[in-house]
A and B are shown apart, each in its own frame.
Chain A
Amino acid sequence: VASAIAAGWAVARVRAHGTLVVALGDWPAPLGIELRVDGLSAVLLATTAVVGLVVSAFSVGWFPPPPRTGWSPAGSFWPLWLLVWGGLQATFVTTDLFNTFVTLELVTMGSVALVALPGGTRQVQAALRYFLAALVTSAAYLGGLALLYGAHSTMSMPLLAERVHGGTSMTVALVLITGGLALKTALFPFHFWLPEAHGSAPSPVSAVLSGLVIKAGFVVTVRVWLEVFPDGVVPVASQSVGVVAVVALLWGAWRALREERMKMVIAWSTVSQVGLLLLVVPVGVPGGVEPATGPALAAAGLLVVAHGSAKASLFLTAGALHRRAGGDELRLLAGAARDVPLLAVGFALAGASLIGLPRTAGYVGKSLLSGAGSDTGQWWWAWAIDLTAVVTALYVLRLAWPMVRRSTGSPTEPVSPTLQVAPLLLGAVGLLVGLWPGWLEELAGIGGVVDTAMSGTER
């Protein structure tokens, strides 16, 4: 609740005064670490607060209350979840790349532990795979940072933006950093750890991992590309990211169509949607021509809101339906629309936003991204964005179809009201943003990049 209040306060301040900057310990960069809340940070903080609060409410209904002493799953869930939440917020406001490394480590370590929470062999295996993969790529990311620091003696993104001017070592640094972050974001072909980790974790954990944690790596990727390397170093670099993103988009959707369990379908959907998110990189940094950072950042903000709320809602729905039928195989979803209409409505809203139907957050995000793409003369990415809508619709309908069918008479348990209302609230976020997108678009466009050192910034 305190986080939500702080996020609301940050949003209000950014709307009133523009980007906020604070130098921790009164040591300005490059000596110290500067925190900064610009429009994109404010949007991310608000999304984290809303999704975090609803997931927490859901978790109260999901986990039994922890005992007073000793070890218990719920006793570990709450501190780990709050650490991850704090780590996410730190990632969204820091301007220091090394500090980002630490915050990403915190988020990853907490997430790994949360995946292992149920303690079954499947979960521990998934967690271990996630952990080992993250370890290797942390080293790659750190290697990239070392090259940057060696060449420019600072880790501050605004200062790096002024000092970085192409060159071989910078290209290598960009590749290492992007590769390291790609795994944390689960971009194809570094997605291999995600479906099992997100699909086997407890539902509130899956909601957090897919809805929010993925966005930490994504946001740092976007900041590194749009802020530190706005000329893309080499023109082909950002277009390659775009090609990989389209492959991710199609491969994730294809696998989502072939899974037999609801949570695995949603987990593969995340692999696909990460592809859509990463299209922000080639759209914003076309390479060779003037970068479209402002519109691309606004698109990134809206896409994060859309995917964060919709995906968290879907995972919570899957969890509630799992409780209802004792499993999450697709055939067990039969009759859900009739039995638990609130969950069905929430599912429909979240699904619509994920597909990007008009008047949803997903639609607004995709239109902004297409618009930014055509501004820079890259019509081909608009095609890829439209393609996402089609493939997403296929797997969302695949989940919806058994839900509206008549019940097969297999035994079901009642679902508590908390578990029904929470996913509905998150689904409604996508609709509300879609109906009144103006203020959020405006907020996401505040500040933008590079200008933090300039006047007009409140310190």
Chain B
Amino acid sequence: VTAVLLSYRAFDTWLEVVVILAAVMAVLVVTQRADVWDVSAPREPHPLQARYVHLLAPLLVVVGIYLVAQSTSTVGGAFQGAAVLAGAALLVWLSGDSSPRGLRFDLSTALASAAHLTFLAVAVLTAVAGRPLAYRGDVATAVIVAVEVTVTVSVAVSLALVSLGARASWEED
């Protein structure tokens, strides 16, 4: 799967990452505000929920990282891992006790665009070398892993931004 996504059809994957980036910007356009990280959870969490999320969130982070890590040899991958990581972040946010407020707007938008910029850099470098998006055998693994990790980070941050942004625009009304 990783070979299909990041080698044979790398151009598709690159553009899909950009579509997600465009979706993040679309949500921010509708929200029209930079403080999406400061919105509070819809309601006070049940104490049991908070305790449960305390147990669950670290597990989810491990599962997310595992999904990305094992994709070098079997099914899994950046998109699935990122979805789990974003889900963990949202659970923590919903349980109310620690929202990711430390993540500033500019930093989060930079992280959301990191995968696009990585793809762009790879495309420019390989094009300059004469064969666009073709990685040399000796660096192929390193390039693919680097791209996969940035895609994970960007997609996870993007999904969280989209969810919180949607919440922020309701709060406004």
Find out whether the CB atom of A106 lies under 8 angstroms from the CB atom of B32. Answer: no
Give me the interface of A with B, judged by CB distance under 8 Å. Answer: 22, 24-27, 31-33, 69-71, 73, 76, 79-80, 83, 86-87, 90, 94, 96, 98-99, 102-103, 105-106, 109-110, 112-113, 116-117, 119, 124, 127
Find out whether the CB atom of A71 lies under 8 angstroms from the CB atom of B28. Answer: yes
Find out whether the CB atom of A27 lies under 8 angstroms from the CB atom of B18. Answer: no
The answer to whether A22 and B132 touch (CB under 8 A), given A106-B19, A109-B22, A119-B29, is yes
Of the candidates B15, B25, B29, the one having the most CB atoms from chain A within 10 angstroms of its own CB is: B29
The answer to whether A102 and B15 touch (CB under 8 A), given A24-B132, A113-B25, is yes
> What separation, in Å, do the CA atoms of A94 and B7 have in the docked complex?
17
User: In the complex, what residues of B have CB within 8 A of residue A110's CB?
Assistant: 22, 25-26
> What separation, in Å, do the CA atoms of A27 and B26 have in the docked complex?
34
Find out whether the CB atom of A109 lies under 8 angstroms from the CB atom of B34. Answer: no
Find out whether the CB atom of A33 lies under 8 angstroms from the CB atom of B105. Answer: no
User: In the complex, what residues of B have CB within 8 A of residue A32's CB?
Assistant: 8-9
Find out whether the CB atom of A83 lies under 8 angstroms from the CB atom of B105. Answer: no
Of the candidates A24, A26, A102, A124, the one having the most CB atoms from chain B within 10 angstroms of its own CB is: A24
Find out whether the CB atom of B7 lies under 8 angstroms from the CB atom of A25. Answer: yes
In addition to A25-B133, A105-B15, 18 A-B residue pairs with Cβ atoms within 8 Å of each other are A24-B10, A24-B132, A33-B9, A33-B12, A69-B106, A71-B31, A76-B29, A80-B25, A96-B12, A99-B11, A99-B12, A99-B15, A106-B15, A109-B23, A110-B22, A110-B26, A116-B29, A117-B29
User: In the complex, what residues of A have CB within 8 A of residue B106's CB?
Assistant: 69-70
> What separation, in Å, do the CA atoms of A33 and B132 have in the docked complex?
11
> What separation, in Å, do the CA atoms of A73 and B25 have in the docked complex?
11
User: Can you name the residue of chain A whose Cβ is closest to the Cβ of B104?
Assistant: A69
User: Can you name the residue of chain A whose Cβ is closest to the Cβ of B21?
Assistant: A83
User: Can you name the residue of chain B whose Cβ is closest to the Cβ of A83?
Assistant: B22
User: In the complex, what residues of A have CB within 8 A of residue B134's CB?
Assistant: 24-26
Find out whether the CB atom of B25 lies under 8 angstroms from the CB atom of A79. Answer: yes
User: In the complex, what residues of A have CB within 8 A of residue B23's CB?
Assistant: 109
Find out whether the CB atom of B10 lies under 8 angstroms from the CB atom of A112. Answer: no
The answer to whether A113 and B7 touch (CB under 8 A), given A26-B131, A98-B12, A102-B15, is no
User: Can you name the residue of chain A whose Cβ is closest to the Cβ of B30?
Assistant: A116
- Nearest chain A CB to B75's CB is how many angstroms away? 20
> What separation, in Å, do the CA atoms of A32 and B133 have in the docked complex?
11
CB of B97 closer than 8 Å to a CB of A: no
The answer to whether A27 and B7 touch (CB under 8 A), given A22-B132, A70-B105, A80-B22, is yes
Find out whether the CB atom of B8 lies under 8 angstroms from the CB atom of A27. Answer: yes
CB of B171 closer than 8 Å to a CB of A: no
> What separation, in Å, do the CA atoms of A33 and B10 have in the docked complex?
9
- Nearest chain A CB to B6's CB is how many angstroms away? 9
Sample of 7 A–B contacts (CB below 8 Å)? A25-B10, A25-B131, A27-B8, A80-B26, A86-B18, A99-B11, A113-B26
User: In the complex, what residues of B have CB within 8 A of residue A106's CB?
Assistant: 15, 18-19, 22
